[in-house]
Amino acid sequence: MQDIICANDSDTLPACSLAAWLKKKILVFDAHEYFIEVPELEKRNLVRMIWHILTIIFIRKSKLCYTVSQSLAKELSKVYHKKFEVIRNVPSLDETVSNEYQNQKGQYILYQGAVNKGRGLEVLIDAMEEIDLQLIIAGGGDILDELKRRAEEKKLDQKVIFMGYLMPEEIKPLTKNAFIGYNLLENYSKSYYFSLSNKFFNYMHAGIPSLSNDFPEYRMIIEQLQCGLLVDLQKNAIVNAVKKLQQDETFYQKLRLNSLHAAREYCWQKEEQNLLKLYSEL
């Protein structure tokens, strides 16, 4: 097999394309998200147009394109006139999680990931006024200080805990011991609408249900495998969903077990075989 240069998202594609041309290597494009639709480019129409044009120009040289979900693959294939394969970004299956399963409930809601605009964290903090659990936010980002002030103003500073950035070995036990995982986004970009986030699978592999948007990818998996709840990004909807899980022990434990079963379906041991096959065919 020849050496391969892989561009991760549109912002590395021009440089990787040039390097592949100079060194006569194969170019591969790995789209983690719909780059021109990310929140950071909102209202920056000129910048978005430039990146869109650059992607159109340089993606032509790519021998293989892939992304993280079926919905996004379909959209990117339509926009850039290149076939996109699907390689989901999922964790490796850890058998010890299933082996250590117990019928217990964690005492906190967990959000892990970037603390940025559009993650639905403002609504979640508001909902905590009516939820009898703690909230742990593990991660950092642009609106961290704003969220801390919001929690203080609502007198929730003892109930909402900001952990900051954590190492993978720290986040794993924190996730496993949570009551549920939070995975709601604002629906104002195609990047979010077609998303299939890492945290969704991290919650699944930890054996905890998640609250997710009724977006195409989450709907497909949750309706099929019953490993979480589809919830609108509204305060009352979040409160009602959490209380339902608190009050219905049988249903809650069913979702936990289903999450562990789902992890066997969506694990890197399976996904890497698809990736290796694609690369072997170049």
Structure tokens at 234: 């509204």
Give SS3 for 53. helix
Which DSSP category does 6 fall into?
E
Amino acid at 115: V
C-alpha pair distances (Å), 25 with each of 57, 66, 204: 18, 18, 38
Helix count and strand count (H, E) for the chain: 13, 10
Quick one: which of 7, 77, 33 has its CA closest to 197? 33
| Rounded Cα gap, residues 204 and 199, in angstroms | 8
pLDDT score at 98: 62
282 residues of the chain, pLDDT tens digit each: 679 999 999 999 999 999 999 999 999 999 999 998 887 777 888 999 999 999 999 999 999 999 999 999 999 999 999 999 999 999 999 877 666 666 677 899 999 999 998 999 999 999 999 999 999 999 999 999 999 999 999 999 899 999 999 998 999 999 999 999 999 999 988 889 999 999 999 999 999 999 999 999 999 999 999 999 999 999 999 999 999 999 999 999 999 999 999 999 999 999 999 999 999 999
Whether the model pTM is above 0.85: yes
* DSSP annotation string for 219-232: HHHHHHH--EEE--
Nearby residues of 186 by Cβ (< 8 Å), 6 or more positions away: 117, 118, 119, 120, 192, 233
Evaluate whether 235 touches 208 at the Cβ level (below 8 Å).
Answer: no
Domains of the chain with CATH codes = 4-90+268-280 (3.40.50.2000), 95-265 (3.40.50.2000)
pLDDT score at 244: 98
